[in-house]
Structures are given as C-alpha cells and as structure tokens.
Amino acid sequence: MTALNGRLSTLAAAFVIARRDFTAILFSRSFFLFLLGPLFPILVGGLAGGIGSEVRSNAARPELGVAMSAADGRALLAARQRLEPQLGAAVPVLVVVKELAPGESFDARAAMQDRRVNLAAVVTGTLQKPVLSGPEERIADWRGPVAVLAAEAQRAGGTDYPAVGLAPLKLSTTADEARSRTVTAQLGQTVLFLLTMLLAGMVLSNLVEEKGNKIIEVLAAAIPMDAVFLGKLFAMLAVSFVGTGVWATVGTSVWLAAGNNLGQFPAPAVGWPLFFLLGTAYFAMGYLLLGSLFLAIGSMAATVREVQTLSMPVTMLQLLNFFFASWAMARPGSAVELAAMIVPFSSPFAMLAHAARDGALLPHVLALAWQAVCVAVFVRVGATLFRRWVMKSGPARSDGQGPWKRLLARRAVR
C-alpha cells in the first residue's frame, strides 16, 4: 500500500482522502437536510417529460410489410411516394418483405415476430384484393390508407377503392415492443440526469470550502494532487450512493405499498436486473465525469462568486448533452446515436437508453471502459490546473533570460 520512498501510493492516498471526506459529510447535519432535496426535482422531471411525445412519435416508427407479387409491390411503393407529400404521416412506411411467386403462400405472423424488422402489420394479396394482417387495432387504422394506396397503384381514376380484407392476429409486434421500450429508455435517461445534476454539485462546494481554509493545500503538500482529486471524487460518489439508496428505498416502499409493480412498465431489452445494474454503473461514470470537470473548475475559482460564474456554462452544457442523448434516441442506428455514445458527457445517457432497447452487452463494456479513460484524463487535467493556479506561492522570478538560455548556461558551467 505504500511506495518505495515511504509515501503512500496514489490509490492508497486516494482511499485515505475518500474515507476522510465520506465520514465528515455523512455525519454532518447538512447531509440529513440534503436528503430532502429530491422533492423539488420531481417537478423538473415532470416538465422534462414533455419531450416524450416527440421522442415516441419519431423513434421506432411502425412499418407496413408488403408481401405481394413483384409488380404489385413496386406499384404500391411508387403510389406511396406520390401520395406522401399530400398525406404526410398518414401514409404508413412500406417495406417489401418478400416478392411472392404466383400461388406462393406467406406466413404474416412469422414475419411480424422477426426482430430484425419493425413491422406493425403486413399487406398481402393483390392490388384488387389486398389483405391486411396484424393486430386488430392497427389494421383497422390502416385499412383506409391501404385502400387509397392500392387504388393509386392501379392508376384507376374514377373507380371505387378496393375492399381491404382484415386478418387479425393475436401477437405482440416488434413495433409495439420497440415503442414501449422507448418509454423505459426515456424514463431511465431522465432519472439519471436528475440524480447526476443534483449530486455532482457537492464536489464543487467541498473543494471551494477547503480551498478557503487552506486544507486542500496542506493535503496537496503531503500526497499527490491526483490522489486528492480521486479521493474527493470517490468520497462524493459514495455519499451519492447513500443518498440515492435512501431515496430509492423510501420511494420504492411507497410505490409498492400503493399496489404497483414493475409489470406495469415495459421491460427493457437487457432485463430489469441488468438494467438497474447498468443504470448504477452509468450513474457512477456520469457523476465521476461531471465531478472531475467541476474539480477542474474549482481549482481555478478563488471565491464562491467565481464558482457560480464558471459552473453555470458547464451546467447548461450538461443539459444540452441530455437533450442531445434524447434526440439521438429517436434515431437508432444513425450517426447521431453513435456520436452521442462517444461524447463522454452524453455517453451515459445514450448508453442507458441503448440498454433499454437492445440486449447486446459488448457495447456497454466498451462504453464503460471509454468513460473510465475520460475520467482519468479529466482528473489528471484538473490536478495539473490546480498545481498551476493554486500551488504557486508568489510571482516567478526572472533573470532576464529565457528557459533555454538558462539551461544552456547550466551546461556550460558544468
């Protein structure tokens, strides 16, 4: 646990600082008052949920599969392209599932349960006698648009619209499943953002307070500055876990006592246990990322007023990162979603939403590793800034020579 020169290693020193800060904060009177804080962000959460309607309307738009002859399928797609400027969103998105040969049958149920596509219904038959297969409510809504498309595809002006046959199927389509998982993804993002913004500010206030009474300079003189910053980050993270644990216990107890259960919410793609585990991991990484940035800001601020001035842009940028991740959620598989996963401060939000909609685990391993690297880089930068801006004592002496001339002069003397 100690280095060869007798001083504590970086990790051991960080553990000492973390234990000291954790104990001091946890048993302070202000911490118990702080536990009442989440009562106010609940109102903010309700307002932030207003973006839900737009996300749900854009994310995972249901598609109408086409399983007809090649000629009928192409004609139907061309008809949709012609009518889309006039009808807009009323025209369903068409996807050719299969081009059928004369007399060939097609299993609509199997096609709609294929997770590689996002089908809400399937149209089969011919343009003269189209048949809609799918959930009863969905095919009832799409009966009219399909009749219009079939009539347009036949180019039979003045004739009646063809009668669309309905074949109701009792199943859960991938479109409905994707739409329901989007609700879970959005809820997870909102909770993660509120907790991160509520708790990350403690890092900044603690550092400024210790700078004011010179404690931080004493610590920096005894142990590496990187260890001081790491210790403070992990101490505040541990305090945050205590706070969220109390809030989650009380909230869950009240929620269960009211007769609720998780079955009322759409299950995420990775399952509830792993989703909560990933949510905890992404909260920790989001907190460490924002906390490390706040530590860098605190190292440059000398007063509380300067802290407020410097931290406000960071808070606004973090809000933009949250909305960026929410916007990327409405465009799965696009470059926008990939960018949201890569940008460190939006990555936790984007990846938690990805966990709700996709069951693959490898992207989460890579994302957590990338976020850990970013935390290490930000802590190192913050420690460097602190040494440069705070640990200097008095102005630098100058002898009229530059650093290169002084170095050459020393070598000449030798």
Task: Give the chain's length.
Answer: 414
Answer whether 366's CB lies under 8 Å from 276's CB.
Answer: no
DSSP summary character for residue 156: -
Q: Which residues contact 79 (CB under 8 A, 6 or more apart)?
A: 149, 150, 152, 153
Give the CA radius of gyration of the chain.
30
Beta partners for residue 268, in sequence order? none
Q: Of 251, 246, 270, which is closest to residue 358 (Cα–Cα)?
A: 270
Q: Of 193, 225, 387, 381, which is closest to residue 294 (Cα–Cα)?
A: 381
**What distance in Å separates the CA atoms of residue 255 and residue 66, rounded to the nearest whole number?**
44
Answer whether 124's CB lies under 8 Å from 110's CB.
Answer: no
**What distance in Å separates the CA atoms of residue 254 and residue 170, rounded to the nearest whole number?**
36
Predicted TM-score of the model (pTM): 0.64
**What distance in Å separates the CA atoms of residue 64 and residue 121, rounded to the nearest whole number?**
5
Residue 87 sits at φ, ψ, to 5 deg, of: -95, -20
- Model confidence over 358-409: pLDDT tens digits? 889 999 999 999 999 998 888 888 777 767 765 554 444 444 444 445 445 5
- Taking residues 204-211, what's their average pLDDT? 64
- Model confidence over 216-263: pLDDT tens digits? 666 666 777 778 888 888 888 898 898 888 888 877 777 777 666 776
**What distance in Å separates the CA atoms of residue 366 and residue 248, rounded to the nearest whole number?**
28
For every residue of 316-381, DSSP letters joined together read: HHHHHHHHHHHHHHTSTTSHHHHHHHHSTTTHHHHHHHHHHH----HHHHHHHHHHHHHHHHHHHH
- Model confidence over 100-152: pLDDT tens digits? 888 788 888 787 777 667 788 899 988 888 999 888 878 888 888 888 888 88
- Neighbouring C-beta atoms of residue 30, cutoff 10 Å: 7
Answer whether 146's CB lies under 8 Å from 90's CB.
Answer: no
**Residue 174 token pair:** 């991938």
Q: Which of 41-45, 60-64, 213-217, 271-275 has the highest mean pLDDT?
A: 271-275
pLDDT band for position 181 (50/70/90)?
A: confident
Give the pairing of strands 93-99 and 63-68. Answer: parallel
3-state secondary structure (DSSP) of residue 32: helix
Domain range summary for the chain, segments of one domain joined by + = 10-54+176-389, 63-172
At residue 266, the pLDDT reads 74
At residue 412, the pLDDT reads 53
Q: Say what the alpha-carbon torsion angle 276, 280, 285, 288 is, to the nearest 10 degrees.
A: 160
At residue 249, the pLDDT reads 83
**What distance in Å separates the CA atoms of residue 56 and residue 187, rounded to the nearest whole number?**
12
Is the per-residue pLDDT at 303 higher than 80?
no
- Model confidence over 66-99: pLDDT tens digits? 989 988 888 888 888 888 887 776 778 888 888 8
- Taking residues 19-28, what's their average pLDDT? 84
Place of tokens 């216990």: 249
